[in-house]
Structure 1
């Protein structure tokens, strides 16, 4: 691999000496002609499209770095530089600040700051190094696909794909210019719209199949939680590193050893070691990540819930639901569009079920809280100077209780069912399924029942519950890796061997993504659609 990179660098240096550094079109054409891993290149082209160009991507990364710096710095300041015991007797911020507070941090806080600072500078260095690659992608779009960054904001991916195919047809020399150091199926000749999607989604197609075929044991190995499937962003990242980086080689192809039954035991043992090692790494970094996520979620969502407390009842699809609902070869932006269209009918479906008891309780709570808020509000309008400083309880003024009762009122109103809601859960769930494409056969005839509603609610859960799960996942992920996923190693190895299909010009892909029903794998696909 080092020899190949060295050869590529020498070729690039030769090209730059021949054409000069100031000819971006020639550089873009040369880079296109010398693509060795077409999967990765198309993935980069697609990610650049999703990011809306170099300036949007760079701005997003700057904001991410600023967010990390703000969360860490502001949290350190609040926890170490304020003497909270002096707040009641002080009138200025300078009176409660601890002088030279950062010089007297405890050992654990200092260690955390050093670790997070190191992470910040590593990310900064990574982003700086990546500017060259983003510039090459911009040149590729601008000079070969004739798409500027401004046009990239509105152009459809279908048009981008057509221009990629036109580039292949208009430049036959570049299509054949690669010195084949790998297998022949790396050819650019197979690059239709379906081929492009299959290359970009090669790994995702396998993951979709593993989720829908229950290959992965994602249960939490604790009593009362063993029946719950658990998939969060942190666990998904670990699965990608442990499985996909193990199965696929540097060219983005399935390793030949996974296609042979003779290596089954060794591969399963290697995968088991990867799960155990990943669990150890997660345990080491768990305290830092948990603290950061808690602070990040607090700063990000406090203002949202404070301004509109009724959003505490808002729902969102879980990560497990997203992978179950996603189609093979369905690119991310198309999937998000389809999923976003289902949010409104999904909320209507969940709200279909009678909540008469809870509705009555919340109506009473809203009435009481609204009454207190109205009286205090009117009194404050009549005599603001008197009532805004008037203490109802010790150190708690009228203004404080107006905020409390107003929040309770907003939350209660958000949980009260609409009186004009027409009850028809079956029609609503079928409407949701038109977008999600998910309607298991065992739900038929039971769409009006609480059992189906509870199953659907596991996929369409409260947003605040999903945030808690994401935070708790940092602690629970190592146990899932150690005790649950290690039991799936043989099934995973068998899955990749039995569900990989060779396609000329593309390589080995997930058989379900080919849509060739004449070639059936030994494992049957249990995915249920409409």
Structure 2
């Protein structure tokens, strides 16, 4: 039982909530619940969601207002569609004269069907809200009584402080101790919270998923929207992980591969048919949600139409292992202004000339109409420029056109330096494909970057198109890579004592996945086991920067920190001595991508260096962390070295201090029993198990419920 593991002792039969509820304080009751957590993954996810939601009352208010907004959208949309006689508006001047009496009884069958679907969805959201209130109260007590963090402080407290408080409970409570088999530190907690997401990050990093559009002229175009993201999460992650959030054991045995691949393909095809069936409902919801959600924002600031944001595909490409959502947002959001400056660098004289022309014409009309309003205020409402179109109408039209046109005119004082700006963007995104090297100033790189950093309107159009393209990708593209997906979970899974089975990249396993081009202390002979672009090495340094007090438990991780520290000191002309402890203060580095020095002094002369190092991502922290760029240390190893196996260690030795991989050199024959463990169930029936229907699709994909579910 997890409680016994957490406490380091077996739970008492008398320790039940019902028998102690009336005899113990709220603090003791909360401590009992903490000590008897059954599912630590779920518990820490709820702890983090509570932190993200900024406390009990903020979460309750946010979810309640979401319910009100959802109900308003349903009722108001139905009223506009079926209760207004639009043909009678020109002849009448009162709302009561154009409202259809008993309109809800006269709705068409299709409208009634849509209304029933959305009402059921709203009722389901309401039940979830009511059901989650007790769990929210328990988490509120946990933060207040055990972590000593009230709701008034949670608005500003850091996640690192929350982790520190959790560790303090473990150290100070007499029933818990360091000898507990449950391993808890910042890395273990992040691994539990992001157990599933780490696999998804790795799938995108390794380009395992085929999300191309199998249509003429679109075969080389990929499509990844929130709709497809949720379907992918359901088809893959819900298939691989059980209801406790643990990876199913059958995925760790090669003999189960044929049945697992067939089951995954069936899930893809089934969800393709389900999405195609409910495509009209999803499309209507998207249109209504976009209209009510963004019309007012665009009306107040028309230039927002031309604003950009990172696509869902880009966000999964940029995100790093064990990087929690708030850390990722803080890192990437800082790159948005610089990314806009970078795109503004490129010459667009034709667009600027047309924009200036349109702005001059529309601005002239708008100015004349405003002057007319100052001369006669009633003309603003009553004077018709064209039949049934007043000054008020045309002022809004010309004002919107003027705002959009002005937003397309570049700043005349910009200095042309696209390469420098893109390097600054990469310092935040940590994304630098090999094909970009030496080409940062070119229009081809700009075009590729625009696919990642697209217009918001374009992203919404893609969401609309995905309603019909998602079934095609699910039905034809993704089934072709089902075997690679199944192999991926077997080859890149590792068991860690006290944590469970996790993605080996997220465990920062340098012995299996270290890339010497990014400074790893051990060379891996098979590139198949390396992360692309030094993703694991960058994630390791980024995690250390976000959690300065964390110490790696694996020897290769400590060696990597030592090497990175030595490189940093050598690069800046400082003594290459590492502080005794990682937590000791250290002056922050000011290195950047633009002043990269020769790195040869950091290695032996027999180790040549790549002549095109990527940018330097400096992690500014007051505590000691390596402030050099993992991707800037691109070492090439000498050709004569000890023969290593696929895990990056000499033959005959233990692959890693972190655990054993589940990948086998030769898969077992299909004739053997594919269900070796007791937890195995029927693989053939799994493909259509837990089908959420359109309600689940709408809820999960479009994030009406942005607050955490406790």
User: Which category describes the TM-score, using the shorter chain as reference length?
Assistant: over 0.9
Pairing 1:113-512 to 2, within 5 Å after superposition: 113-171=115-173, 173-174=175-176, 189-385=182-378, 389-512=382-505
Pairing 1:54-69 to 2, within 5 Å after superposition: 54-69=56-71
Q: Structure 1: where are the runs of 5+ without partners? A: 2-9, 178-186
1:526 alignment partner in structure 2: 532
TM-score (norm 1): 0.92
Deviations along 1:43-71, one digit per CA (max 9) or x if unpaired, are 11111110111111111111111111111
Q: Secondary structure at the match of 1:224?
A: coil
Change (3 A) 1:431 1:24: same
TM-score (norm 2): 0.70
Q: C-alpha separation between the residues in 2 aligned to 1:248 and 1:383?
A: 69
Is the Cα–Cα contact under 8 Å of residues 175 and 188 in structure 1 kept in the other structure?
A: no
Q: Secondary structure at the match of 1:509?
A: strand
Is the Cα–Cα contact under 8 Å of residues 372 and 379 in structure 2 kept in the other structure?
A: no
Q: Structure 2: where are the runs of 5+ without partners? A: 2-11, 514-525, 536-614, 616-710
Q: C-alpha separation between the residues in 2 aligned to 1:323 and 1:190?
A: 28
Q: Secondary structure at the match of 2:532?
A: coil
Q: C-alpha separation between the residues in 1 aligned to 2:13 and 2:427?
A: 52
Q: How many residues align?
A: 513
Deviations along 1:233-288, one digit per CA (max 9) or x if unpaired, are 12111111111111122332222111111111111111111112222222233222
Q: C-alpha separation between the residues in 1 aligned to 2:378 and 2:20?
A: 80
Q: C-alpha separation between the residues in 2 aligned to 1:222 and 1:445?
A: 33
Q: 1:71 aligns with which of 64, 70, 73?
A: 73
Could you tell me how far 1:176 is from its partner in structure 2? 10
Deviations along 1:319-371, one digit per CA (max 9) or x if unpaired, are 11111111111111111001111111011011111110110111111111122
Could you tell me how far 1:25 is from its partner in structure 2? 2.0
Is the Cα–Cα contact under 8 Å of residues 369 and 406 in structure 1 kept in the other structure?
A: yes
Q: C-alpha separation between the residues in 2 aligned to 1:34 and 1:270?
A: 36
Change (3 A) 1:280 1:172: farther
Pairing 1:29-108 to 2, within 5 Å after superposition: 29-108=31-110
Identify the structure with the greater helix proportion: 1
Change (3 A) 1:24 1:223: farther
Change (3 A) 1:17 1:454: same
Change (3 A) 1:23 1:288: farther
Is the Cα–Cα contact under 8 Å of residues 83 and 98 in structure 1 kept in the other structure?
A: yes
Q: C-alpha separation between the residues in 1 aligned to 2:322 and 2:412?
A: 42
Q: Secondary structure at the match of 1:513?
A: coil
1:181 alignment partner in structure 2: none
Deviations along 1:412-467, one digit per CA (max 9) or x if unpaired, are 11111110111100000001111111111221211111100010010100001111
Could you tell me how far 1:392 is from its partner in structure 2? 2.7
Is the Cα–Cα contact under 8 Å of residues 440 and 528 in structure 1 kept in the other structure?
A: no
Q: Secondary structure at the match of 1:173?
A: coil
